[in-house]
Amino acid sequence: MEQKVNLKDLTFDELEKFFLNIHQPKYRAKQVFQWLHRGVTDFDQLTNLSKELRHQLKEISYISTLSIAEKYQSKLDGTIKYLLRLNDGNLIESVIMKYKHGISICISTQVGCRMGCNFCASTIGGLVRHLTPGEMIDQVIFLQKDIQDRISNIVLMGIGEPLDNYDNVIKFLKNVNHPAGINIGYRHITLSTSGLVPGIIKLSKENMPITLSVSLHAPNDKIRNTIMPVNRSYNIDKVLEACKIYTEITKRRITFEYAMIAGVNDSAENAEELSTRIKGMLCHVNLIPINKIKEKEYSRSSDKKINTFKAILEKKGISTTVRRELGGDINASCGQLRRGHSEN
């Protein structure tokens, strides 16, 4: 028997074709799309469809759900961290962060990750599988329901490497941006990558004005090779070249993420070298005091080091911020909850 399709895995256009194929009018797509993204979990809730059609849909398709396995709310800043269970039992994480300008969600794009960054908990067990477009949008749909408030920004910075799951991520972006659904503007979406060059180039041609965030974390290949194995495939020169192409085509400013790791990449000399390499680019640097994960010996740079690093970059005319440490009391860094769970 053919496998049932998760209707949330289809883009709006694909959903239209789906209904034409079963001899239904095209406008069914819009009706069903609206229901799905409002979070219905059962075809019988689709009250503007006939009983026969609902029955037919049940035979050939299904509506994916997500259940909350664990939930932790920070007492410091209201950040909520979720461990979520997919239909096949796999676990992923999402985080809700509250800012003055609105509510952001950080979503996962894969179960596990194969990038191997050695300061990151998400990659320890390797890649289990890609998330489908529906499983990505379910994080937005069901957490919006859970918090009973509107999510206004999305960051693809949870478990996984989004550009390693390229086609599904693009479908997800199209659906979450669609006016008949959740309708979040591309400018309110940030995709973070460890630097997969072919994906960056491809993304630049999608005509989607999202913000690209690149996890650089080092000023030279020697250091980057030791913390990010992906650098052996795409070194800093190649990544920066791709970033220049991206900004030329999209006219969008890139964010460079730079995790501050004590004694590894946080010296004044490192800051000088970094500023020389990215000077003149349409970019912004975000310094991230690294979250301690218990499997690794790395620790966070001191505030003094971070401030000196920032001052050096700013003196060279590079706009720099230090990421606020949200959810410090709930292990909010990516992969830690799932990791903790698999150990128990």
User: Within positions 198 to 227, which residues make up the interface with ligand SAH, using CB under 6 A?
Assistant: 215
Verify binding: residue 93, ligand SAH, rule CB under 6 A: no
How far apart are alpha carbons 65 and 230 in whole angstroms? 33
Judged by CB, which is closer to ligand SAH: 293, or 306?
293
How far apart are alpha carbons 75 and 60 in whole angstroms? 45
Tell me which residue has tokens 């192409």. 245
Judged by CB, which is closer to ligand SAH: 6, or 109?
109
Verify binding: residue 283, ligand SAH, rule CB under 6 A: no
Verify binding: residue 74, ligand SAH, rule CB under 6 A: no
4 CB contacts (<8 Å, ≥6 apart)? 60, 61, 62
- What are residue 245's phi and psi, to 5 degrees? -60, -45
Cβ burial, residue 34 (10 Å; 0-12/13-18/19+):
middle
Query: Could you confirm whether 106 is annotated as catalytic?
Result: no
Name the nearest CA neighbour of 232 among 183, 277, 196.
196
Judged by CB, which is closer to ligand SAH: 14, or 325?
325
One of 334, 337, 338, 339 touching ligand SAH (CB under 6 A) = 334
* Interface segment toward ligand SAH; rule CB under 6 A; list 47-55, 114-122, 178-186, 201-209: 114-122
Q: Which run of H or of E encompasses 76?
A: none
One of 176, 243, 285, 293 touching ligand SAH (CB under 6 A) = 293
**How many residues sit close enough to ligand SAH to count as binding (CB under 6 A)?**
18
Verify binding: residue 161, ligand SAH, rule CB under 6 A: yes
Judged by CB, which is closer to ligand SAH: 36, or 200?
200
Q: 197-204 vs 236-250: helix axis angle to the nearest 10? A: 10
One of 259, 312, 326, 337 touching ligand SAH (CB under 6 A) = 259
Verify binding: residue 117, ligand SAH, rule CB under 6 A: yes
Query: Do residues 214 and 197 lie in contact, with contact meaning Cβ atoms separated by under 8 Å?
Result: no
Q: Which residues of this chain interact with ligand SAH, rule CB under 6 A?
A: 115, 117, 119-120, 157, 161, 192-194, 215, 257, 259, 288, 290-291, 293, 333-334
